[in-house]
Amino acid sequence: MSAPVVPPNQYDVNMDNPLQGSPWADIESHPGVFTELASQIGIKGVEIAEIFSLDAEYLKAFEPIYGLIFLFEWHAEDTEQSKIAADIKSIPEKIFFINQVVPDACATQALLSIALNSATIELDSSLVEFKQFCLELSPAMRGLALSGFQRLRVSHNSFARQTDISTLYYPVPQKRKYKKAVTKKPPQSVKGNLARVPVSISTDTSQKSSTGTTLKSRKAQQRKNMTSKTCDSNLEKSQTTCNDKSAQPKYHFIGYVPIDDAVWELDGLKRMPKKLGNIPKNGDSWISIAISIIQKRMNSYSVEFNLLALIEDRVQMYEKKKRLISTARECILKCEASEASPTSDFAVFLKEAELSVEDYAVLKSKLNVSTALEILDKSDRAIDCRIKEEAEKRQEYKDENIRRRFNYAPFIRKWFEIMIRNGSLASHIK
């Protein structure tokens, strides 16, 4: 009797596919990358926006903000200090904290840390099952479970450059020759010379960087292109390529998120989450606490950093406003049919719609049907323009992600070969 045919799981590892048969790759710190990544891994109704100012009025335009993702230059003392002493003795039950146990996964992990700790964000069933599965595990074991979550890794790696994918396969065991230090005797024929000090070749590969990112240039001058980069622990530290990487600054993603009545810093390289403070009861947003901490980091470290905000999907938010205006228009028409006037609560009802300060003041002072309908139509047209802008932005993100994945190296190589053959290369070199 033949064995039953088992259909392959869609998330099974396929070593022939470089997107699936590779470890976690480095990805670019770009809102288009994170927005599409969030959608692919099952975080619904959100988008990621890049923050260029820490001004409170500027940040109000992005509300509601579910969490912040901060990319900064990582220093070893940040992690070492957390090993010595933690701010809390145990992790509160309501905080889902994950340790980072694999390199280059900090981008997706920071995104998940916010989504899995938010009571507002809707999650895909696979993420809900993952959280339920990991509830009884330690933070380190949760990190190990995340590293084996094939769907997340495939989605994460799909945003890597194709030129990097070929180097990301699981390391193949290779035979290595370990040389021992040999003490040479001083030559007898040379007088007055001392014996040479023997050179010891180090074969220690136990030291390993658990995170880091390489800073890359970006087309937009306002934006820093940060990508996760580490030095492979399987390579000997004596190799030149590894030494070059270790000499570069390392960057790391961490998340800031409000949980219950407090603001927390979730850093996978630290043993515990860090409580930054209680949310103000005077009406101020939780953002004010996180921004003060981020500002200190900016002042203490280098100027190379990047700040992203996990916010409500703008298209989804604008569609809610359009439904609100549609409901208000129906109420106005009913008032017109019954020859009644809108009440003073009508302006308050439309406060969440896309109304200017002037239009809102007019609605509060002149509650008549014709004026209200005119303002509603004006607001409706403004929202349509916003939705169109968002659609254009999403298409731009999509095009950039396609270009980001595409490998231009074969085309450029072929182009140079053609120019060399026809002798036109020299004319293009200044």
Active site (annotated) includes residue 134: no
Q: What are the structure tokens assigned to 145, written together? A: 């479970």
Which of these, 392, 76, 55, lies nearest to 207 by C-alpha position?
Answer: 76
- Are 85 and 162 in the same domain? yes
Q: What are the structure tokens assigned to 128, written together? A: 């809900």
CA dihedral sign, ordered 31, 39, 214, 263: positive
For residue 400, what are the domain limits? 316-405
Cα–Cα distance, 297 to 256 (Å, whole number): 13
- Are 284 and 375 in the same domain? no
Counting Cβ atoms within 10 Å, is residue 367 exposed (0-12), middle (13-18) or buried (19+)?
middle
- Are 235 and 128 in the same domain? yes
Instruction: Output phi, psi for 119, to 5 deg.
Output: -85, -5
Catalytic site residue from 30, 106, 156, 231: 106
Active site (annotated) includes residue 106: yes
Q: Does 277 fall in a domain?
A: yes
Whichever domain contains 53, its CATH number is 3.40.532.10
Q: Does 188 fall in a domain?
A: no
Catalytic site residue from 30, 134, 156, 252: 252
Q: Does 413 fall in a domain?
A: no
Q: Does 164 fall in a domain?
A: yes
Which of these, 153, 151, 63, 47, lies nearest to 107 by C-alpha position?
Answer: 153
Give the end of a domain, one of 293, 312, 331.
312
What's the Cα-to-Cα distance from 363 to each of 32, 158, 294, 330, 374, rounded to whole Å? 38, 50, 40, 16, 10
Residue 398's pLDDT is: 92
- Are 370 and 239 in the same domain? no
Residue 167's pLDDT is: 53
**Dihedral angle at the C-alpha atoms of 201, 206, 210, 214, nearest 10 degrees?**
10
Q: Does 47 fall in a domain?
A: yes
- Are 82 and 124 in the same domain? yes
Q: What are the structure tokens assigned to 156, written together? A: 């994460």
- Are 355 and 390 in the same domain? yes
- Are 347 and 234 in the same domain? no
- Are 321 and 234 in the same domain? no
- Are 137 and 161 in the same domain? yes
Asked if residues 179 and 133 have their Cβ atoms less than 8 Å apart, the reply is no
- Are 285 and 377 in the same domain? no
What's the Cα-to-Cα distance from 307 to each of 54, 89, 184, rounded to whole Å? 10, 29, 56
Cα–Cα distance, 336 to 378 (Å, whole number): 19
Residue 358's pLDDT is: 60
Cα–Cα distance, 125 to 110 (Å, whole number): 19
- Are 80 and 123 in the same domain? yes
Q: Does 420 fall in a domain?
A: no
Cα–Cα distance, 48 to 39 (Å, whole number): 11
Q: Does 411 fall in a domain?
A: no
- Are 256 and 384 in the same domain? no
Asked if residues 42 and 302 have their Cβ atoms less than 8 Å apart, the reply is no
CA dihedral sign, ordered 66, 71, 72, 76: positive
| Contact residues for 115 (Cβ-Cβ < 8 A; gap 6+) | 38, 43, 46, 66, 67, 121, 123, 127, 310
Asked if residues 404 and 161 have their Cβ atoms less than 8 Å apart, the reply is yes
Q: Kind and range of the H or E element at 253?
A: strand 251-259
Cα–Cα distance, 135 to 130 (Å, whole number): 9
CA dihedral sign, ordered 166, 170, 173, 178: positive
Q: Does 51 fall in a domain?
A: yes
Residue 164's pLDDT is: 65
Task: Indicate the number of domains in the chain.
Answer: 2
Chunked into runs of 10 residues, the chain (430 residues) has average pLDDT values of 45 53 79 94 95 91 94 72 57 91 87 94 94 93 90 88 60 49 44 32 37 40 42 34 52 91 92 90 84 87 83 93 85 71 59 61 64 82 93 93 84 89 82
Give the end of a domain, one of 312, 345, 379.
312
Residue 160's pLDDT is: 82
Give the end of a domain, one of 312, 339, 364.
312
Which of these, 41, 31, 65, lies nearest to 279 by C-alpha position?
Answer: 65
